[in-house]
Amino acid sequence: MSRSNISGNVRLGYSEVSDQQPGALGEEFTIIPGEYDAADDVYVNTNASTVIVKLLKNTSGGTLLPGNILKRDATGDMSYAVVKATADAPACAVVDPTLQSAVPINGKFLGIIYGETDVLVGAVDLVKGVTISSNATGGAVVNDLSTVAKVAGACGFIMEAGTAATLAKAFVDFRALK
C-alpha cells in the first residue's frame, strides 16, 4: 500500500466536520510533526516522533473514545472498518487521542498504527515500561506475554505511568498486522 507524507495543514485531530480531507478510507499517511511559523507561513519539522496513521471508519455500532485500542471489523471492509478491540485480540490501531469528542457510528477518523500516542488506560493503573494489549472494551492493560495469544495481542508499551480511565503516553506498532 502506498503511503503519503503529511505535514503542514493536515494534522492529527481530523474528523468529518473539519475542513481538512486527508484521503480515501484505508489510506495510510506519515505525519511529520511540525510547528507553524507564522512569519514565514511554513511548518517547521520539530524532530518529534513520526507517526503513521490510517483513515478508518467506526463500524462498531457505538461510539469510539479517543485512545481506544481497535481491531478490524470482520463483518465490514477489513481495509478500514474497525471496532473496539477485545481482550488479547490482535489489534490494528488506536483512535486518534487528539480528537475533541468520541467518534460516532460510521464516523471517519485517523487511527494511529505506529509511533508515540496516548492510549486509554483500562480499569487498572499502568506503570512505565509495561507491555500492553487491549481489555474487553478497548482499554490498555498489562500484557504478561505468558501465552501465544497474549504475544499475538501485544501492541506496544507504556512510556509514562497512567491512571485508570485516563490517557497515558505509549508507543504502539501495529504494522505487522496490516
Residue range 114-171, pLDDT digits in tens: 999 999 999 999 999 999 999 999 999 999 999 988 888 899 999 999 999 999 999 9
| Cell reading at 144 | 504478561
Query: CB–CB of 86/99 below 8 Å?
Result: no
Asked whether the predicted pLDDT for residue 4 surpasses 70, the reply is no
pLDDT of residue 12 exceeding 60, the answer is yes
Element (H, E) at 82: strand 81-84
**DSSP string across 134-170:** E-TTS-EEE----SHHHHHH--EEESS-B-TTSEEEE
Classify residue 64 by burial, with Cβ atoms within 10 Å: 0-12, 13-18, 19+. buried
